[in-house]
């Protein structure tokens, strides 16, 4: 039996026994009472529900009605049940809940009988005041129509800065079958970077382990027989033996290994991963139970954690623990193979009504016009004009990326400079409804574009990491195999452009032993607002939470430094963006391409030709504006144009808009590394093509007069003429040197009209002399050396 502090309830019983003995009222001769049967306590737990009140079979999301039905059915098997959660029940919600400030989720979870939850970071998306005075406050049709959570929110590590008092209750306790079950809550210590600082300006976020250990001891002193920790923090791995769980130097490992033995189980969340682990607690040696459950149900109501404690009601000791991860939807409904999952539990009728009412209300509210667009913002399409092409750049992908960059450009959100958007996160075009010369965009139309309610995550990436991210558009899974979609073109925010080239390769397919013909890409240049990206510099980048975790094989994004979930939902960002830029005048469509492919550009000389191929210049839908030609510039000088062929292809790549560029560089072009600028006058596309202008090799023409040079008599004249490849006389300096012991072994000077003359000394001995002629070069011409042999006669 594990040792623990005595509780007031136990002390009262002991005192009563002593009193009876003193009074002589002993139980002598009385048969001892039989031991009470163990009481089974069931804890059902969810986490990171995020307002997923509707069923989404393709995602395995059961919906609020089935979640409630599961709790009800499981409670029917054991009335000693507590339904608990580990936070993020609201916030980052889908449209049906989001549009009503998560009131449908609050109502559904109330009806499902939720009793206690840790505070999650998304509970504080709208600030501490909103949590306390709306969400947690009693429902009132007049004063608080959007709140009224009937469960208790707890967090031991949230304190008021001014007083040190709890910002919300630290613990919750309930008696079930004569067993006192205590809960202690906590929220991630990263909270200050996950929500607006202004919203929690009065709150201190303290150490999770210290806070929980203090409050767990207090629960024991208050008589708790079982203590469950609800914490909105979790593992980044589902492997129970990974350092995430076992290494105390990691955030989660510190919690798992250092939370005190007063805690019987840890129910977690935040990372959206499902795991069902248990770890030994050394202080429990000799107890019937020596391992502590550490669990998470994943996200979105896909699963429930079930913990069952068998407790001795006389001693309060846990005799046995059973733990399961219960899916709410079947992965294979009829056993015949892949298919849409079906619910494993009946839907609760009352909650189903709440969900249907929310859906109907969302349809009504979804009709509200957010703003106007001048023309459709479309996803990329293949040649048939209707099939989505996730490998193509699109006006919609770039719009969403720009909206997310704008939504996180303030310092408290990360001062974002660049944003990327995955094409799979765009589920419909934003065409709007025609209204005269513009198109109305409604809430619903914006919502169906981004239905996943991902949050926006800001991070720091080096220029080299950004290049890696872009090259991961050519898809490979974690094992280096090519997935079913071999290429995914990221939407990119305004101001960031890049060039690339791709090469055909053969790579392993997803089926063992197979290979596929595909491509590998290489980024050849990147620019932000016209300035080259420095591989070693750090840039602030925003992506949605799906990408931030390495989704769609963009694994480098998971390595971003200082990752911070801003608490902003992608749909909310678009709603705010349209309110800002599309309410007074229709939002124009930006048809400019961020990514352009160019073939290798060979170094060229001033006055020389530059030729290369261009592709991915055009957007792919019929409605998209396209350029008929590309203007090629070096600095401000126009070098020429190239016609564009915008025929749309049938392959899932970004090849629409091809051209062949062939221009001549100015004779006076500066040498070194520079770039050509390609401009589309109709689309506004403007990209840079890296170019190296090398120095031209001039021709040296050397003449020596007179023809006969006599030892001891003749001073020969050497004339050096330096001519550029275009025939223009060169500028710069030249010299003539010779071998021998006589004085004046070399002479040099500036070219005049492309010429340099050097008078040689009188050579005293007959024989041959080797003259070395050197031209020192200039900004356009390379250095050149030549030799001439002269004969000195007697």
User: Which domains, and CATH codes, for the chain?
Assistant: 37-354 (3.60.21.10), 369-496+530-581 (3.90.780.10), 595-693 (2.60.40), 699-793 (2.60.40.1930)
Q: Rounded distance, CA 57 to CA 788, Å?
A: 86
Task: Give the three-class secondary structure for 552.
Answer: helix
Given a cut of 80, is residue 128 above it in pLDDT? yes
Residues 457, 542 contacting (CB under 8 angstroms)? yes
Task: Give the three-class secondary structure for 92.
Answer: coil
**Among the listed residues 286, 285, 293, 288, the one whose alpha carbon sits nearest the alpha carbon of residue 264:** 293
Task: Write the CB contacts of 50 (distance below 8 Å, at least 6 apart in sequence).
Answer: 88, 89, 90, 91, 92, 93, 94, 122, 299, 300, 453
Strand bridging mode 152-154 / 179-187:
unpaired
Q: Rounded distance, CA 477 to CA 516, Å?
A: 14
Q: Rounded distance, CA 29 to CA 9, Å?
A: 27
For 495-544, write each residue's pLDDT tens digit: 999 999 999 999 998 767 778 899 999 999 999 999 999 999 999 999 99
pLDDT (mean) for 766-793: 93
Give the tokens for residue 234.
Answer: 């979790």
The pTM of this model reads 0.65
**Among the listed residues 412, 419, 548, 599, the one whose alpha carbon sits nearest the alpha carbon of residue 493:** 419
Residues 393, 461 contacting (CB under 8 angstroms)? no
Distance, CA of 408 to chain centre: 13
Given a cut of 60, is residue 27 above it in pLDDT? no
**How would residue 6 be classed by pLDDT, with cut points 50, 70 and 90?**
very low
Cβ atoms < 10 Å from Cβ of 82: 22
Q: Rounded distance, CA 331 to CA 60, Å?
A: 8
Total length of the chain: 794
Residues 124, 131 contacting (CB under 8 angstroms)? yes
Q: Rounded distance, CA 600 to CA 611, Å?
A: 9
**How would residue 337 be classed by pLDDT, with cut points 50, 70 and 90?**
low
How many Cα atoms are found within 13 Å in the side-chain-facing hemisphere of 645? 10
Strand bridging mode 179-187 / 226-232:
parallel
Given a cut of 90, is residue 196 above it in pLDDT? no
Given a cut of 70, is residue 3 above it in pLDDT? no
Quick one: pLDDT at residue 76?
97
**Among the listed residues 99, 92, 127, the one whose alpha carbon sits nearest the alpha carbon of residue 546:** 92
Given a cut of 50, is residue 178 above it in pLDDT? yes
Residues 291, 280 contacting (CB under 8 angstroms)? yes
In our burial notation (b when 16+ CB lie closer than 10 A, e otherwise), range 539-573 reads bbbbbbbbbbbbbbbbbbbeebeebbbbbbbbbbb
Q: Rounded distance, CA 753 to CA 653, Å?
A: 55
**Among the listed residues 431, 394, 450, the one whose alpha carbon sits nearest the alpha carbon of residue 571:** 450
Residues 400, 426 contacting (CB under 8 angstroms)? yes
Question: Tokens 């009806």 identify what position?
Answer: 111
């Amino acid at each position: 039996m594990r040792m623990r502090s005595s509780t007031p309830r136990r002390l009262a019983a002991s005192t009563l026994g002593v009193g009876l003995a003193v009074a002589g009222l002993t139980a002598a001769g009385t048969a001892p009472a039989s031991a009470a049967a163990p009481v089974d306590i069931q804890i059902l737990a969810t986490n990171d529900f995020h307002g997923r009140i509707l069923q989404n079979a393709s995602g395995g999301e059961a919906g609020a009605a089935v979640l409630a039905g599961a709790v009800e059915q499981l409670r029917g098997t054991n009335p000693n049940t507590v339904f608990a959660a580990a936070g993020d029940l609201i916030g980052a919600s889908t449209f049906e809940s989001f549009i009503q400030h998560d009131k449908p989720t609050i109502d559904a979870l109330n009806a499902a009988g939720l009793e206690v939850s840790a505070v999650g970071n998304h509970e504080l998306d709208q600030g501490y005041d909103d949590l306390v005075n709306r969400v947690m406050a009693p429902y009132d049709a007049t004063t608080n129509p959007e709140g009224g959570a009937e469960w208790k929110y707890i967090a031991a590590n949230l304190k008021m800065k001014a007083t040190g008092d709890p910002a919300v209750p630290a613990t919750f306790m309930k008696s079930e079958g004569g067993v006192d079950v205590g809960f202690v809550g906590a929220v991630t210590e990263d909270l200050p970077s996950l929500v607006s600082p202004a919203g929690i300006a009065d709150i201190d976020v303290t150490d999770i382990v210290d806070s929980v250990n203090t409050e767990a001891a207090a629960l024991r002193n208050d008589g708790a027989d079982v203590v469950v920790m609800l914490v909105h923090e979790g593992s980044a791995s589902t492997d129970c033996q990974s350092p995430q769980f076992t290494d105390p130097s990691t955030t989660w490992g510190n919690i798992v290994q250092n939370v005190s033995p007063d805690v019987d189980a840890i129910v977690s969340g935040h990372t959206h991963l499902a795991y069902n682990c248990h770890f030994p607690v050394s202080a429990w040696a000799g107890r019937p139970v020596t391992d502590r459950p550490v669990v998470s149900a994943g996200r979105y109501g896909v699963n429930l954690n079930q913990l069952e404690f068998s407790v001795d009601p006389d001693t309060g000791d846990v005799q046995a623990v059973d733990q399961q991860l219960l899916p709410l939807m079947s992965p294979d409904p009829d056993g015949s193979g892949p298919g849409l999952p079906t619910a494993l539990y009946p839907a609760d009728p009352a909650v189903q009504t709440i969900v249907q009412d929310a859906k109907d209300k969302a349809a009504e509210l979804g009709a509200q016009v957010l703003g106007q667009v001048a023309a459709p913002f479309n996803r990329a399409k293949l040649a048939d004009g209707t099939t989505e092409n996730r490998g193509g750049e699109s006006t919609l992908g770039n719009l969403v990326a720009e909206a997310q960059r704008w939504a996180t450009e303030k310092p408290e959100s990360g001062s974002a400079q660049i944003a990327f958007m995955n094409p799979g996160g765009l589920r419909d075009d934003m065409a709007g409804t025609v209204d005269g010369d513009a198109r109305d965009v409604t809430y619903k139309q914006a919502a169906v574009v981004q239905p996943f309610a991902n949050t926006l995550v800001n991070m720091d990436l080096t220029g080299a990491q950004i290049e890696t991210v872009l090259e991961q558009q050519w898809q490979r899974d974690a094992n280096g195999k090519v997935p079913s979609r071999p290429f995914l073109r990221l939407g990119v925010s305004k101001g960031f452009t890049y060039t690339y080239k791709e090469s055909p390769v053969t790579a392993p397919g997803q089926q063992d032993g197979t290979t596929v013909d595909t491509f590998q890409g290489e980024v050849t240049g990147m620019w932000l607002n016209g300035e080259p990206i420095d591989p070693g510099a750090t840039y602030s980048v925003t992506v949605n939470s799906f990408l931030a975790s390495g989704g769609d094989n963009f694994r480098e994004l998971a390595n971003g430094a200082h990752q911070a979930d801003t608490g902003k939902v992608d749909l909310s960002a678009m709603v705010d963006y349209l309110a800002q830029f599309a309410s007074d005048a229709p939002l124009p469509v930006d048809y400019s391409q961020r990514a352009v492919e160019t073939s290798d550009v060979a170094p060229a000389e001033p006055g020389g030709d530059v030729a290369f191929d261009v592709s991915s210049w055009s957007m792919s839908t019929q409605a998209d504006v396209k350029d008929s030609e590309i203007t090629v510039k070096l600095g401000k000088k126009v070098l020429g144009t190239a016609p564009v062929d915008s025929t749309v292809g049938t392959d899932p790549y970004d090849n629409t808009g091809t051209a062949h560029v062939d221009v001549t560089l100015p004779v006076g072009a500066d040498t070194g590394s520079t770039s050509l600028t390609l401009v589309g006058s109709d689309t506004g596309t403007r990209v840079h093509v890296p170019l190296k202008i090398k120095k031209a090799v001039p021709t040296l023409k050397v003449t020596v007069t007179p023809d006969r040079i006599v030892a001891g008599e003749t001073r020969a004249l050497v004339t050096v003429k330096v001519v550029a490849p275009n025939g223009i006389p060169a500028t710069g300096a030249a010299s003539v040197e010779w071998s021998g012991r006589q004085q004046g072994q070399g002479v040099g000077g500036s070219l005049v009209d492309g010429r340099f003359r050097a008078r040689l000394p009188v050579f005293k001995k007959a024989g041959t002399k080797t003259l070395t002629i050197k031209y020192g070069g200039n900004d356009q011409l390379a250095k050149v050396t030549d030799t001439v042999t002269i004969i000195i006669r007697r």
